[in-house]
């Protein structure tokens, strides 16, 4: 019985989450390819053995495959799903050659490559807009409603009902701003508090502490200073945001997530932040299950939008095999007006594959350690 409940709470939300995000990403490649005259031979959610398929009027085979950890949009003439292999043009008629991805100009290839990540961003923007416009807000005033006993905040003299005005010199308007500034800080934060009409400055150290969404779930380790507010959830409000305000807030939400992700990557590269923050598929499944179980559908949608931004951004990194790696190659070809040497491409793709496999193993190792800590500590 417990196993079935875990499947419902963790596996099913994870499969829905990943399936939607993969579909959005690959559909971006698909629709731009179609619009630019490139034929798509297959569109698959998942890898491996085919579970279901349907061929449309233009010859694209739509598939659901056994391993639900990704997907692909395969163009006519590609020998594999990565669209990186050389194509034997002699196998295709003169008319078919016009619709091969391999025969397109670099500017068209560039548009198709960028479309996947951009659709992830567009999807996130639309989700946030819908939540803000139709439901309201999940803004929480930056007023402290609880201080954890023996936490750095308590030791620094932070009190309940203190209002945080600035962190490290950055203006704080809502609780989201607090979470952002603490997450991108390393050892300590400078707080400017408003207490009984007076401003007070304090330095508070950051440390890993037990954290849970609510009392129904097991705590996990998280970097905190030990302050609490209302639970961060979307709430129906009497005066929902108008169209323009919803657009602004959606843009800011997308911008802030992108900024925090890039800053986190920069801090990992510079050594300011531990590599243990890198998570993978297991961590995503865990978080999606926790949110679906304890916080509901609306917060699950917001989490999906956040991950969509991360998926789009990561795919734009200039790493061979990722969309960003292809973008760099196509930009070089556009500038040089000649195709990059096939051997150089092959070498770059091998390097990219090795790097991605290393990151996947590293992230999985972090995820397993995290789960062991959560289960047994």
- Interval 78-92: pLDDT, tens: 765 555 556 777 788
Catalytic annotation present for 26: yes
The pLDDT tens digits of the residues spanning 2-26 come to: 556 666 677 888 889 999 999 999 9
User: CA 1 → CA 5, 6, 260, 285, distances in Å?
Assistant: 6, 9, 40, 20
Instruction: Read off φ and ψ for residue 170, nearest 5 degrees.
Output: -95, 130
The whole-number pLDDT of residue 82 equals 53
139-232 under CATH 2.30.42.10, yes or no: yes
Domain boundaries, the chain: 104-138+241-377, 139-232
Q: What is the mean pLDDT of the chain?
A: 82
What span, in angstroms and rounded, lies between the C-alpha atoms of 308 and 254?
10
Task: List pLDDT tens digits, range 195-218.
Answer: 988 898 989 888 877 665 445 445
Cβ count within 10 A of residue 187? 8
Q: Is the pTM of this model over 0.85?
A: no
3-state secondary structure of 268: helix
Which CA distances in Å does 95 have to 35, 55, 111, 131, 283?
17, 21, 22, 46, 47
Among candidate residues 26, 181, 253, 286, the one labeled active-site is: 26
Q: How many other C-beta atoms lie within 10 A of the C-beta of residue 133?
A: 17
Please, which pLDDT band fits residue 142 given cuts at 50, 70 and 90?
confident
């Amino acid at each position: 019985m417990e196993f079935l409940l875990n499947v419902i709470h963790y596996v099913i939300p994870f499969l829905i989450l990943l399936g939607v995000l993969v579909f959005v990403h690959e559909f971006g490649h698909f629709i731009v390819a179609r619009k630019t005259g490139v034929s798509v031979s297959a569109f698959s959610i998942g890898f491996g053995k085919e579970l279901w398929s349907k061929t449309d009027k233009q010859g694209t085979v739509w598939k659901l495959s056994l391993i639900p950890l990704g997907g692909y949009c395969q163009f006519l003439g590609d020998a594999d799903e990565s669209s990186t292999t050389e194509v034997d043009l002699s196998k295709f008629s003169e008319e078919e050659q016009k619709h091969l991805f391999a025969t397109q100009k670099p500017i068209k290839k560039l548009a198709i490559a960028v479309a996947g990540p951009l659709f992830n961003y567009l999807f996130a923007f639309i989700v946030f807009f819908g939540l803000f416009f139709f439901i309201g807000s999940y803004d929480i005033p930056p007023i402290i409603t609880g201080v954890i006993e023996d936490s750095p905040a308590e030791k620094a003299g932070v009190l309940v009902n203190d209002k945080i005005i600035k962190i490290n010199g950055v203006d704080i308007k809502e609780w989201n701003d607090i979470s952002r500034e603490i997450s991108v800080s390393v050892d300590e934060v400078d707080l400017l508090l408003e207490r009984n009409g007076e401003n007070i400055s304090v330095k508070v150290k950051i440390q890993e502490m037990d954290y849970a969404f609510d009392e129904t779930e097991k705590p996990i380790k998280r970097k905190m200073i030990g302050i609490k507010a209302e639970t961060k959830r979307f709430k129906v409000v009497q005066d929902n945001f108008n169209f323009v305000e919803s657009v602004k807030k959606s843009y800011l939400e997308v911008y802030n997530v992108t900024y925090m992700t890039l800053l986190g990557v920069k801090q990992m590269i510079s050594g300011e932040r531990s590599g243990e923050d890198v998570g993978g598929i297991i961590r995503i499944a865990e978080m999606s299950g926790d949110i679906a179980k304890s916080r509901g559908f609306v917060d699950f949608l917001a989490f999906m939008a956040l991950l969509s931004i991360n998926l789009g951004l990561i795919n734009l990194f200039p790493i061979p095999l990722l969309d960003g790696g292809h973008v760099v190659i196509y930009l070089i070809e556009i500038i040089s007006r000649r195709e990059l040497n096939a051997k150089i491409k092959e070498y770059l793709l091998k390097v990219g594959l090795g790097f991605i496999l290393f990151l996947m193993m590293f992230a999985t190792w972090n995820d397993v350690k995290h789960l062991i800590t959560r289960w047994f500590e």
